[in-house]
Each structure stands twice: as structure tokens, then as C-alpha cells.
Amino acid sequence: MKKEENKLEKITALAKRRGFVFPGSEIYGGFAGTYDWGPLGTELRRNVVNEWTRAMENHDNMAFLDSSIFTAAKVWEASGHVSDFSDPMVTCNNCHTKFRADHLLDTIGVAADEKMTEPQINILFDEHRAKLHCSVCRKKDFSKVFAKNLMATSTLGKFSEEDQEVYLRAETAQGIFINYKNVLNSGFYSIPFGIAQVGKAFRNEISPRQFLFRKREFEQMEMQYFVSPKEAFVAYEEWKNERMAYYDRLGIKKEKLRWKQHENLVFYAKDAWDIQYEYSFGWNELEGVHYRGDYDLNQHQKFSGVDMTYYDEKTKERYIPHVIETSTGVDRTILMILSDAYKEDEMNGEKRVFLRFKTNIAPIKAAVFPLLKNKSELVKKARDIYKMVKKDIPQIMWDDNGNIGKRYRRQDEIGTPHCITIDFDTIQDDSVTLRARDTGKQKRIKIKEIISHISA
């Protein structure tokens, strides 16, 4: 386990060093639970979102939405987030540091079910209280467990006396539910159909941790599929199969993925499974595929007074559609991709670190090198080739810093699948050296063949 924890530290260090992810507000000492995407992280994030979007676009009856981050407070009252969306918190009575009770229990190997009520987790915590200590001051003196609501809040209003507290969305799903009828009434969709959305969500996490896995500001890729109650279970199984198969598009090893069924369903759910990935800190949720029934639309119908029913012309029935949800995080997906791609080996007698990204995910598809940066004829030829390739494949990089060996190592470390070197033979015969990241093997190809080789 120590080796795996060390792997997460290595990935975190590489991500900062090479411009994938920077700690939030770092020059001011950092701001826990927040991260900034660097240049390569921005490209990787774009590729991840594009792959998910293309997977959703494969469905004929799929709408896309971009809903507001700010919504009326009643949205979250209807959804149950105001009253029931909380984590169990304890406070160290000595130094007043706050902790999640289940995370403290986890340090001594005691698992707390996420569906436990406040009294239940208090009983469990009391059973093991003598073994628990504060990681800051090392004292063994904690408060009782209490529920901490995870909704992040803000204020809106021109003057302070007019300010009203509002909630930043805790999930993108509610923006879909409150717009379900608007999309339906646009006249382009009918049951069954889905609404997909990529967007930011916010949670007042007590103890954000494990790099990108648990953040206070994160991005979700969610899809809500509206279907007849009679066809819901069949559609649910189809979506489960499709979502697991999707991860092959990202190049993820199958043995690192598994299904886990929820043992204690929330009262409204018909069934719920998570796709888990084996991160360096253990198996944990990557994506939820849940059959939510008609709870959400029923709640918004009740709180808003808007009719959420659908009249099915085929069956001549009126019903509130049931909902199948697929929900995954951009951040967790990228952490998975980095974890899966991270490799250490030896090449030509030297240790190297490289990221074995699948080509469609790699933030940089190829790097173009002039063999020598002080030879104007090589630089000019290399620049011409760089501009030619960039027209078809924008995600390429110019690199003339250091010797060829250092450039290869640098490109390996950021996961660039191909390096293209322009030398004196290029000027004579229009051929270049193409090097493969994973094997280090090199071959000569014609300039006109570059696009087909690095697009494969």
C-alpha cells in the first residue's frame, strides 16, 4: 500500500512540474480542495469532455444543456439537498480542527456506511473513540458527531440589505430536471430521450483529499435519461453495459474497473450501481449509473406546481417518466487516466517516467524537433512541417530545448505519442525520423505521411 500511496505523490508532483494541474491559490499558501488546470491539463480535460460528449452524441434522441450555476433556493429544497445533504463531522476539542467522522474511522480500518443516520454513526464513533486521535495535535478528545450540510452558499443582491443567500449547485442533475419540460416542449424530443450536461458543481467538503478525487469545486458529466416506467429496467441494463464499455475509449485497463452495487438504497431509488476504479488509495467510485425512478420530477412538480407528466401517443397513457442517471466527474476521470497511464521503466540504460496515454486522450499528439536549434536551415524546415501538421492536428508542440535525448524524456513524461525530428537528410529527401513513445523505436517516413502516422 505504501508503494501505491507513493505513486499518487509522484503523479501529483509530475502534474505540477509539467503543467497539468496546479494547487489552487498556491502563491498565497494554497486553498484546500481547489486546483487550477495548467496548459497540458486544459488540453487533457478538453479531450476527456470531448470523448464523453461524442459517446452521448451516438444516441439519436439526446439533448444537451448548459444550465445556470445559480438557481432558486426552492430547487434544492425540492431535491432534498437542503435537509438531507450532509456529512458526519467531529471537532477536536483541543485544537478545534474539524474532521469527517467516517474518514477518522477509516484510519483504524473501521468502515462507516454512507447511509448511516447521525445517531447510528455516533454509536459507531463512540465504540472506537479511544483508538482515534487528532492528526494535528495528536490528542484523543473529540466532540460528538454532527451533520454538516455540504451545500456551498453565496449571496446575490445589489445592496447588502437586499442580499439573499443562495446555493451554488451541488450537482448538475437538478438543472436538467427543472428544464426537462422546456426541452420536451421544444418539439424536437419525445420519450425516451436523454439530456446531457457538463458543468461545475460545488460542495462544502469537510476534508478534501486524494488530489483530484475529492474537491470543493469540480466538474460533472451527467446524463438523465427519461423513459416510460414499463421500459425503464431494460433501458437501465443497456446504459450499464454502455457506460462500462465506454472506458475502452479512454484506454483504461479492464482489470482496473469493476461494478459495485449500493447495499443501502436511498428511499426513492429503484437500483444503483457504481463503476469503481482501483486508484492508488484503493477501489473507489468513478461513475454512478442509477435508476432514480420518478422521484425527482415528482418533487419538482410538487414544489413548483408545474405538470411534469407526459402523454405517450403510442400507448395512450399519461405518466411521469422514470429517470436513469449516468454521472461521472471530469476530475476523477483525469485522475484515473493519469494513474492508469503512469509508468516507470528503463530505456537505453536510463530510468524514465512516461505517461502511456491513448492517442485520442493525449494532450499533445506529437512534438516537432529541429535536430539542432542553431542551424537556420533545419529550424526553417522544422517550422514549415510544424505549421503544416498543426493545420490538421492542433494539439502538437514545438520543442527545441536541450539535446534530443532530453527532449525525448520530456515528451515521454507528458505522454506525447510521437516525436518528429527534422535533420539534414530531411532537406535532401523530405523524410523525417518518427519516434514512438512506448517503445522508443524510430523509423524514417516521408513528410507527406506524417499526418496518417500520428493520427492512427
| 394-403 residue pLDDT tens | 999 999 999 9
**Closest listed residue to residue 384, CA positions, set 445, 427, 437:** 427
Mean pLDDT across 10-19: 96
219, 330 contact by CB (below 8 A) = yes
pTM of structure: 0.87
Cα atoms in the Cβ-side hemisphere of radius 13 Å centred on 3: 1
* Residue 86 pLDDT level (bands cut at 50, 70, 90): confident
Pure H helices in 156-311: 173-177, 180-185, 232-246, 295-304
Distance CA 300, CA 297 (A): 5
152, 203 contact by CB (below 8 A) = yes
User: Mind listing the pLDDT tens digit for each residue in 382-426?
Assistant: 999 999 999 999 999 999 999 999 999 999 999 999 999 999 999
β pairing state of 193-202 and 217-227: antiparallel
The domain spans of the chain are 2-85+152-339, 89-149, 364-455
- Domain 364-455: top CATH class: alpha beta
The reported pLDDT for the residue numbered 1 is 47
**Closest listed residue to residue 355, CA positions, set 2, 45, 55, 44:** 44
Mean pLDDT across 167-190: 93
SS3 263: coil
Distance CA 61, CA 75 (A): 26
SS3 69: coil
SS3 51: helix
The reported pLDDT for the residue numbered 161 is 59
**Closest listed residue to residue 439, CA positions, set 361, 345, 332, 372:** 345
Distance CA 175, CA 99 (A): 31
330 has a pLDDT exceeding 50? yes
162 has a pLDDT exceeding 70? no
SS3 140: coil
The reported pLDDT for the residue numbered 364 is 98
The verdict on domain 2-85+152-339 having CATH code 3.20.20.70 is: no
Mean pLDDT across 345-360: 94
Distance CA 115, CA 64 (A): 32
Cα 29 to the chain's mean position, in Å? 25
Q: How many residues does the chain have?
A: 456
327 has a pLDDT exceeding 80? yes
Distance from the first to the final alpha carbon of the chain: 37
415, 360 contact by CB (below 8 A) = no
Residue with cell 419538482: 300
β pairing state of 442-446 and 431-436: antiparallel
284, 106 contact by CB (below 8 A) = no
Q: For residue 334, what is its C-alpha cell?
A: 483525469
Average pLDDT over the chain, rounded to whole?
91
